[in-house]
Structures are given as structure tokens and as C-alpha cells.
Amino acid sequence: MCSSSNEEQLTDYGGQKRQGDHFWLFEPRTKEEAVLGLTRASQLKLDVTIRGSGHSMNGSSIPQKNGLLLLTTSLNKVVLTSDGKIEAEAGAQLLVVDDYIGQFGLKLPIVNDGGDPAPTVGGFICAGGFGVCSKDYGGFWNHIRSLEYWTPKEGVRCITQETEEFWQICASGKPKGVILSASLMTLGQYTGTRVEATLQFKYVVHPNRIWFTFIAPIRKSASLRRALIRLDRDLRQYWEGLPPYEYMIKSQGRGTPDGFYPEHDGSLAAMGVWGEVTTKTAQNIDAIMERVSAFTNRETYAKRYWQSEL
Ligand SMILES: Cc1cc2nc3c(=O)[nH]c(=O)nc-3n(C[C@H](O)[C@H](O)[C@H](O)COP(=O)(O)OP(=O)(O)OC[C@H]3O[C@@H](n4cnc5c(N)ncnc54)[C@H](O)[C@@H]3O)c2cc1C
């Protein structure tokens, strides 16, 4: 059992949400160990929270008081099969996987931006996932063949893109079950034999920033950009703002998870505002949140990328 004996409490990336009470920590080293522990936790009716890198900002990877925190960071095994498909356990970080398969002339179509290891495979799937290459290859969901998924009622199952459940898990934020691994498509040609490895989880200290991303159909890009320029100007009095950012997420003709943008099949734009977390930000966090909420209520065509953000 864990607790905090000083002011160092467990937080997520934004540092605004924290847990200072007792909770159980469980860091399985294999999927089998994870399933045993999850089954036992379910029998004991423990409140279970899953945490990958803890890079989300909305408190979704912070355990409940007396609950169980399942940390996936030791579920890091990857298997490269002879057809160039990579099966990655949920705790492997995307950029670490991408780096590993690079030596075989392969790459993942979509990885997180920033250049340093951050989200895990499981966490990125829960978020939705996009990056600079989304302008060509769309969302991360387009490149997942199947998920190995555990739920208390049905145990471990393989969920493929063809099922409704797949689209409910991707970009759901906090799915009802646990993603144990994912079979991912890669770019490049591989003709070698099956190889497997256990990758090292890499803790990286990233700049302390918070951000708010909004997703909208591509035809609404101009409206969203104009509205965000106004929001950015307004927020500058409350934080050390950075220049707004934008991405295009090209439709691959295979649908979009409702959790990412509901009932939409075409290309999307993801744009946002961000700022450094300084004393000024901390003092003004309520004012920032108020303005972001008002923005969401006003710009009804835009959906917050809420999973990863305050
Ligand atoms: C520096 C940085 C760069 C980023 N860049 C990008 C980017 O370029 N593109 C982008 O789309 N996003 C980006 N993000 C956002 C990030 O992808 C999401 O916050 C993502 O969810 C974080 O993954 P994580 O492993 O840290 O998950 P956590 O924060 O640990 O968990 C997030 C949610 O997923 C659930 N979860 C995690 N693993 C599992 C699992 N195995 N099974 C079931 N549920 C699980 C948790 O319970 C929680 O609800 C970035 C974040 C940071 C901090």
C-alpha cells in the first residue's frame, strides 16, 4: 500500500490533480500477472485505476482513496512478426517502440509529438492519438489491427477493428476494461523472422506546460482558428502563452471513434492553445478554466480533446 509521507503526492502531467491518501500499487511484470491481479481485485471489489505514463491531465490516471493503481510501465514486451506487424504490450511507450522497429526499417504511422518518449500504447489508444503524420495517415486508431482486452465479466478477448467495441474503446478516455496489448500496423517492408524484446520504460522530464485542444471537422478550420486566436489573446493575461498549434487528421475512410469526434467520417482539424505552468498560471487556473469552458459552450462544432487535458 502506498501513501504520501510528505508533500510529494501522486499527480498526473498537469500537476493540478493529486492523490495524497492511501492506495494499493500493483505493477505487473507480465500480462498473465496483470490478469491474475485484476481478477483478484474484481473479486475484492476494489476500485481499479490504470496508469501508463500518467501523462494525461484530467486526473483519470490517479487512483481512488483505498483503491488499486495498476501501473503498466513494466508491460513492455514487443513482438515483431514476419509480416512486419508489431504486437506491443500496453505499457510500452510509442516512441520507444518506434525507435526499436526503426532498426528493422519500419516505423509507426502515428506517434506523439514532442520527440521524447511520453504516452504508452495503452494511454495513447485511450486518448485517440494523433501527431504530425496525421495529415497523411489519420488517427492512431486507423493503424491498430486488434487489442487484447480484459474485462471482469469476459476475461481476456481479442477485439478487432471490425467490432463496435473497438470503436468504443479507442478515444474513450477511461475504458471499462484494461488494454493488455495491441497489434499495430507499421510502414516499411520486413521480411525477417519473428523477434521479441523487452523495451525499457524511459522517464523523461518534459517542460511543465498545460494545453487545451479542440477538434472540429476540417470545413470548420477557419472558424476554429479565428476563435482560438481570440482565446489565446484572452488567456495571455493569465499564463505565459505559447503560439497556438494545429494539426490535420486525414480521414482514412474507416470512421472515427465517437469519443474523439462523434458521428463523423471525414477529415478533422485539431487546434489548441497552450502555456507554461508558472506561478502566474497556478494563481489563475480557475480563470483559465472558466474561459476554456465558455469557449467550449460557444464553439459548439468543436469538441475538447478532453481525455488528455485538465
Ligand atoms: C509531453 C506530452 C506529449 C503529448 N503528445 C501528444 C501527441 O502528440 N498527440 C496526442 O494525441 N496526445 C499527446 N499527448 C497526450 C497523451 O497522448 C495522452 O494524455 C495519453 O492518454 C497519455 O498516455 P499515458 O500512457 O500517459 O496514459 P495515462 O495518463 O497514464 O492514462 C490516461 C488514461 O488512459 C487509461 N489507460 C492507460 N493505459 C491503459 C490501459 N492499458 N488499459 C486501459 N486504460 C488505460 C488511464 O486509466 C487513463 O484514463 C501528450 C502528452 C504529453 C504529456
Task: State the CATH number of the domain containing residue 45.
Answer: 3.30.43.10
- pLDDT for 9: 80
Q: Are residues 29 and 106 in the same domain?
A: no
- pLDDT for 57: 86
Q: Are residues 88 and 193 in the same domain?
A: yes
Is 240 domain-assigned?
yes
- Identify the residue with better confidence: 37 or 115: 37
Ligand 1 midpoint to CA 304 (Å): 15
Which of 159, 179, 198 marks a domain boundary?
198
Q: Please say if the pLDDT value at position 61 is more than 60.
A: yes
Which of 25, 52, 71 marks a domain boundary?
71
- pLDDT for 7: 61
Tell me the three state secondary structure of residue 224. helix
Mean pLDDT of the chain: 94
Nearest to 114 by CA among 259, 13, 200: 13
Average pLDDT on 282-300 reads 95
Ligand 1 midpoint to CA 54 (Å): 7
Q: Are residues 159 and 261 in the same domain?
A: no
Q: Are residues 119 and 147 in the same domain?
A: yes
Q: Are residues 62 and 171 in the same domain?
A: no
Is 4 domain-assigned?
no
Which of 27, 47, 71 marks a domain boundary?
71
- pLDDT for 114: 87
pLDDT per position as a tens digit, 65-117: 999 999 999 999 999 998 889 999 999 999 999 999 999 999 999 999 988 99
Average pLDDT on 214-219 reads 98
- pLDDT for 38: 98
Q: Are residues 82 and 194 in the same domain?
A: yes
Q: Are residues 117 and 146 in the same domain?
A: yes
DSSP per-residue codes, 52-88: SS---SSSTTSPPTT-EEEE-TT--EEEE-TTS-EEE
Q: Are residues 95 and 183 in the same domain?
A: yes
The domain of 155 spans: 77-198
Is 203 domain-assigned?
no
Contacts of 278 (CB under 8 A, 6+ apart): 239, 240
94 to each of 83, 108, 125, 144, 278, how far by Cα in Å?
A: 20, 8, 10, 13, 29
The ligand 1 atom nearest the CA atom of 51: 30
Ligand 1 midpoint to CA 275 (Å): 19
- Residue 290 half-sphere exposure, CB side, CA atoms within 13 Å? 6
Q: Please say if the pLDDT value at position 5 is more than 60.
A: no
The ligand 1 atom nearest the CA atom of 129: 11
Contact 62, 10 (CB under 8 A): yes
Indicate which residue's Cα is closest to atom 53 of ligand 1. 55
Q: Are residues 90 and 123 in the same domain?
A: yes
- Identify the residue with better confidence: 162 or 1: 162
Ligand 1 midpoint to CA 193 (Å): 31
pLDDT per position as a tens digit, 114-168: 889 999 999 999 999 999 999 999 999 999 999 999 999 999 999 999 999 999 9
Global confidence as pTM: 0.96
Angle 221-235/279-298 helices, nearest 10 degrees?
150
Query: What total of structural domains would you count in the chain?
Result: 3
Contact 298, 284 (CB under 8 A): no
Q: How many CB atoms lie within 10 A of CB 176?
A: 12
Indicate which residue's Cα is closest to atom 28 of ligand 1. 54
Indicate which residue's Cα is closest to atom 11 of ligand 1. 129
Task: Sheet with 24-26: list strands edge to edge.
Answer: 24-26, 68-71, 48-51
Instruction: Report the pocket of ligand 1 as residue ranges, CB < 6 Å.
Output: 12-13, 49-56, 60-61, 72, 90, 112-114, 118-120, 122-124, 126-127, 129-131, 173-175, 178-179, 206, 307-308
Confidence of residue 17 (pLDDT cuts 50, 70, 90): confident
Q: Please say if the pLDDT value at position 238 is more than 60.
A: yes
Is 296 domain-assigned?
yes
Nearest to 49 by CA among 33, 30, 31, 65: 65
Is 256 domain-assigned?
yes
Phi/psi for 271 (5° steps) reads -135, 155
Contacts of 83 (CB under 8 A, 6+ apart): 190
Question: The CATH number of the domain where 245 resides is what?
Answer: 3.30.70
- pLDDT for 4: 55
Q: Are residues 82 and 26 in the same domain?
A: no
Q: How many CB atoms lie within 10 A of CB 153?
A: 7
Q: Are residues 93 and 176 in the same domain?
A: yes
